[in-house]
Amino acid sequence: MLAAIYSIERSEMSYDEPLVGSLAIAFAVVSSVIAVGPWSSPYQLRSIAAVRGRFGKPAARCVWLAVAIAAFTAGMAILSGTRPSYAEPGGAEPGAAELGGVHAIEH
């Protein structure tokens, strides 16, 4: 089922995909360092502070690790070219809408 939804094709990678994928992986590294590091300032973010106040610092560390895992997964998916089967690698022309297989340019 997953193969029907997502397709992996080796196509031409646009210039922004390596940048976005690399930034996602860099954010994953930063998030995992925050999760295992001794700092307290990252735990003052509102949502992390709410988790810390209700469940304690170990749960807040788990949230940082979950964010790191999600960012790493997204970065690897972007860099490997994985995309939903309905997405076109090159994208459509700006202002174009697809209607029944025919591209119509909106004016």
Average pLDDT score over residue span 42-48: 95
Decide if 72 contacts 27 (C-beta within 8 A).
Answer: no
pLDDT band of residue 1 (cuts 50, 70, 90) is: very low
What pTM was computed for the model?
A: 0.69
Q: Which tokens sit at 11?
A: 């196509």
Expressed in angstroms, the distance from the first to the final Cα of the chain is: 38
Dump pLDDT digits (tens) for 57-107: 999 999 999 999 999 999 999 999 887 777 666 655 555 555 555 555 555
What one-character DSSP code corresponds to residue 61?
H
Burial 84-101 (b: 16+ CB within 10 A, else e): eeeeeeeeeeeeeeeeee
DSSP state for residue 92 in the 8-state scheme: P
* Residue keyed to tokens 């690897």: 76
